[in-house]
Amino acid sequence: ETGVTQTPRHLVMGMTNKKSLKCEQHLGHNAMYWYKQSAKKPLELMFVYNFKEQTENNSVPSRFSPECPNSSHLFLHLHTLQPEDSALYLCASSQDKNGGYGYTFGSGTRLTVV
């Protein structure tokens, strides 16, 4: 499988649930990212990982907990979310830290918190 794969595609969860989003890339990229895209709002960068190390946390609430066990996999663990956390969560990977190659995106997980 090529590209960036995100699972699940859709998720409905209650505010007391715990769930995880998964992102996987087989492109040999070294950097991975989580973005949040709410309706009618721009893409918000949440977390950045380079070579499995978190290099950026954009003031994300602790109810979102990322995990990067290796350069190919990225998780976003969710617990006690709020309805305003409903959004499209996009994962991306990139080839380098120099900025020249841009990102390859997954199809996203559409999250609804009820």
Q: Does 106 bind other proteins (CB under 8 A)?
A: yes
Which string of b and e fits 14-53 if b means at least 16 CB within 10 Å? eeeeebebbbbbeeebebbbbbbeeeeeeeeebbbbbeee
Q: How far is the CB of 79 from other proteins (least distance, A)?
A: 24
Q: How far is the CB of 59 from other proteins (least distance, A)?
A: 15
Find the part of the chain contacting other proteins (CB under 8 A) among 18-26, 60-68, 74-82, 101-109.
101-109
Q: How far is the CB of 46 from other proteins (least distance, A)?
A: 12
Strand pairing class (10-13; 109-113): parallel
**Distance, CA of 54 to CA of 80 (rounded, Å):** 23
Give the binding site for other proteins (CB under 8 A): 31, 33, 42-43, 45, 48, 50, 55-56, 88, 90, 92, 94, 96-108, 110
